């Protein structure tokens, strides 16, 4: 087990979050969006309030959490969140990002600023707002026995530019390939693996070191209002940077399955029902519920997911307002 100097008893958790139904957001997005990728609602929708259930899961299964930091665009704040609670800190983009690059709708740009959040613990967990804890978690689960970070990866190899068609490929895959070009330049060229969906353990100083190591790529990422192919996803670049510099180890397949689960929430009810049932039976430590509804979520699927979340986490967390109600 890592000693307490390497693995402190409590750390913070950082979430990124957005709600595209917040007044004014859609109009602002429309002023800047140019492509279908820019308008993709899968990345901005909050119809399930998964963040709310994520905080319930955090309180139930992750006792090592100290404070929750939420990074979002001004003036957005979840209506149910108790912003007066001492364990809740809300940061808006303009607190840590250059006004010249705002507003931004680029999650890569936002994530690249996580280590700049004032008051966040030196080592913290980054969770996207669709990630949950489904089983007892310890900080040591994210660390090897010598205190290095564990990287949970898939068997599949991430793409390289020679495999992609720039005019038809998604910005995500192009950005992965761009990150691999940057890593090849700084380290030995080789193929790298996709990472499993799940929280990322981040050390602030090392994250900033990574940003300094790839100044051109980080600058291109931060100044892009939407994801583009010359961006790099920090949530992919950082774990591989740790591996390349010897600060992390790859977890084996068994450990990755124990720690990370995934469900694609789709409009075909039997498929979504099956994936949630599988997660309920397997109970990995963490699970990601990825919005794949596209433009029109199926109301029956939405109702089923909401009921599942309520069944998993019926008790409000300390992070919720006492007078906040769940949507019907």
pLDDT tens digits, one per residue of 145-201: 999 999 999 999 999 999 999 889 999 999 999 999 999 999 999 999 999 999 999
Residue 117 CA, distance from chain mean position: 16
Query: Binning pLDDT at 50, 70 and 90, where does residue 6 land?
Result: very low
Q: 142 or 10: which carries more pLDDT confidence?
A: 142
Q: How does pLDDT run across 105-134, given as a tens digit for each residue?
A: 999 999 999 999 999 999 999 999 999 999
Q: List the domain range (segments joined by +) for residue 44.
A: 11-150+194-204+251-312
Q: Is residue 171 in a domain? A: no
The rounded distance, in Å, linking the Cα atoms of 80 and 86 is 16
Q: 299-312 vs 50-61: helix axis angle to the nearest 10?
A: 20
Q: What is the pLDDT of residues 58-67, one digit of tens each?
A: 999 999 999 9
Q: Are 155 and 251 in contact (CB under 8 A)?
A: no
Round the average pLDDT of the chain to a whole number and report it.
95
Give CA–CA dist 44/42, Å, rounded: 6
Q: Is residue 139 part of a domain?
A: yes
H helices of 66-193, in order, are 107-111, 171-186
| CA pair distance 241, 183, nearest whole angstrom | 7
Inter-residue contact 210 to 164 (CB < 8 Å): no
With respect to residue 299, please indicate whether it lies within any of the assigned structural domains.
Answer: yes
Looking at the DSSP assignment, which residues form a beta bridge with residue 45? none
Residue percentage of the chain with pLDDT more than 90: 95
CATH of the domain at 144: 3.90.550
Of 154, 246, 238, the C-alpha closest to 195 is 154
CA-wise closest residue to 192 among 213, 205, 176: 176
- Cα separation of 295 and 25, whole Å? 17
Give the single-character DSSP code of 241.
Answer: H
Please check whether residue 327 lies inside any domain of the structure. Answer: no
Residue 67 burial (CB count, 10 A): 19
The tally of domains found in the chain comes to 1
- pLDDT per position as a tens digit, 239-272: 999 999 999 999 999 999 999 999 999 999 999 9
The answer to whether residue 293 is domain-embedded is yes
Is residue 9 very low, low, confident or very high in pLDDT (cuts 50, 70, 90)? Answer: low
CA Rg value for the chain: 19
Confidence grade of residue 2 (pLDDT, cut at 50, 70, 90): very low
Within a domain: 136: yes
């Amino acid at each position: 087990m890592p000693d307490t100097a390497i693995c402190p008893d409590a750390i913070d958790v950082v979430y990124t979050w957005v709600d595209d139904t917040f007044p004014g957001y859609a109009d602002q997005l429309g002023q800047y969006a140019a492509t279908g990728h820019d308008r993709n609602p899968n990345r901005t929708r909050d119809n399930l309030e998964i963040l709310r259930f994520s905080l319930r899961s955090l309180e139930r299964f992750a006792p090592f959490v100290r404070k929750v930091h939420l990074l979002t665009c001004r003036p957005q704040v979840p209506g149910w969140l108790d912003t007066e609670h001492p364990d809740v800190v809300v940061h808006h983009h303009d607190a840590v990002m250059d006004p010249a690059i705002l507003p931004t709708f680029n999650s890569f740009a936002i994530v690249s600023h996580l280590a700049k959040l004032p008051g966040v613990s030196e080592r913290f967990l980054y969770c996207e707002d669709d990630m949950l804890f489904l089983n007892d978690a310890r900080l040591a689960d994210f660390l090897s026995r010598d205190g290095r970070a564990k990287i949970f990866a898939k068997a599949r190899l991430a793409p390289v530019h020679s495999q992609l068609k720039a005019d038809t490929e998604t910005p995500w895959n192009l950005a992965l390939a761009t990150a691999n070009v940057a890593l090849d330049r700084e380290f030995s060229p080789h193929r790298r693996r996709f990472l499993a969906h799940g929280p990322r353990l981040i050390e602030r100083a090392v994250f900033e070191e990574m940003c300094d190591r790839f100044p051109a790529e980080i600058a291109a990422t931060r100044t892009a209002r939407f994801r583009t192919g010359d961006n790099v996803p920090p949530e992919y670049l950082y774990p591989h940077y740790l591996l390349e510099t010897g600060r992390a180890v790859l977890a084996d397949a068994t450990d990755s399955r124990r720690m990370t689960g995934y469900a694609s929430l789709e409009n075909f009810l039997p498929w979504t029902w099956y994936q949630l049932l599988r997660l309920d039976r397997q109970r990995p430590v963490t699970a990601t519920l990825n919005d794949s509804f596209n433009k029109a979520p199926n109301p029956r699927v939405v109702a089923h997911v909401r009921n599942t979340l309520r069944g998993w986490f019926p008790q409000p967390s300390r992070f919720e307002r006492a007078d906040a109600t769940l949507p019907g």
